[in-house]
Amino acid sequence: MQIMGVKAIYPGPRTSQKAPKHKIYPYLLKNYVIERPNQVWSTDITYIPMARGYMYLVAIMDWHSRYVMAWALSNTLERFFCLEALEAALAQGRPEIFNSDQGAQFTSLDFTARLEEAGIRISMDGRGRAFDNIFIERLWRTVKYEHVYLYRHETVPELFAGLTAYFHFYNHERYHQSLAYCTPAEVHFGNCSRHL
């Protein structure tokens, strides 16, 4: 392909663009032992291919239980849909630490001030270190392979309805080997009969 000058055609949304003037927080989770729900939450943005263009999906996940606390869709990378997801998650609980990448949405003053106002410690991945946020990266792979690539929703309302159903399935019905074959909801709310 390189010799012939052929390039693959696919969207390159670049979801994690750094904003030079925004404060970057240190990564707090190296060698950190996570033992209970609401100890650490993390967030990330991915893109969802559509028939025409793509949408952006943000999710907030509890690291211990893998429970998706909240998610939101947007057709732009403006920070507002990330704040919407954050407010929905905070309506259900509060983590001790909130981890994200260094994308402008998560380093924005609106976003970090809301976390600080809630008394939450902020942690950010090292630049270009996707493995620092591995649980949510695995979530994206699962969502895409188990839902997005199978259904290829034509419209945004179809995508929203499909993701609503999928995240309910993911949280309440999908068993995880790493969770002793319990669901994220069972672990998050303390209803898992198996020892983790």
**Mean pLDDT, 10 residues at a time, the chain of 196 residues:** 51 53 87 95 95 93 97 95 98 97 94 97 77 86 95 94 98 94 96 71
pLDDT of residue 51: 84
Asked if residue 136 lies in contact with residue 153, where contact means CB atoms within 8 angstroms, the answer is no
pLDDT of residue 180: 92
Neighbours of 19 (CB within 10 A): 15
DSSP three-state, residue 185: helix
DSSP three-state, residue 83: helix
**Scanning the structure block, which residue is given the tokens 């404060």?**
23
pLDDT of residue 9: 42
The CA distance from 49 to 59, in Å, is 17
How, if at all, do strands 40-49 and 97-100 pair?
Answer: parallel
pTM: 0.87
- Our separate counts of H helices and E strands in the chain read 7, 5
The highest-level CATH class for domain 40-188 is: alpha beta
Q: Which amino acid is at 34?
A: I
The domain spans of the chain are 40-188
pLDDT of residue 162: 97
Query: How many CA atoms, within 13 angstroms, populate the side-chain half-sphere of residue 159?
Result: 25
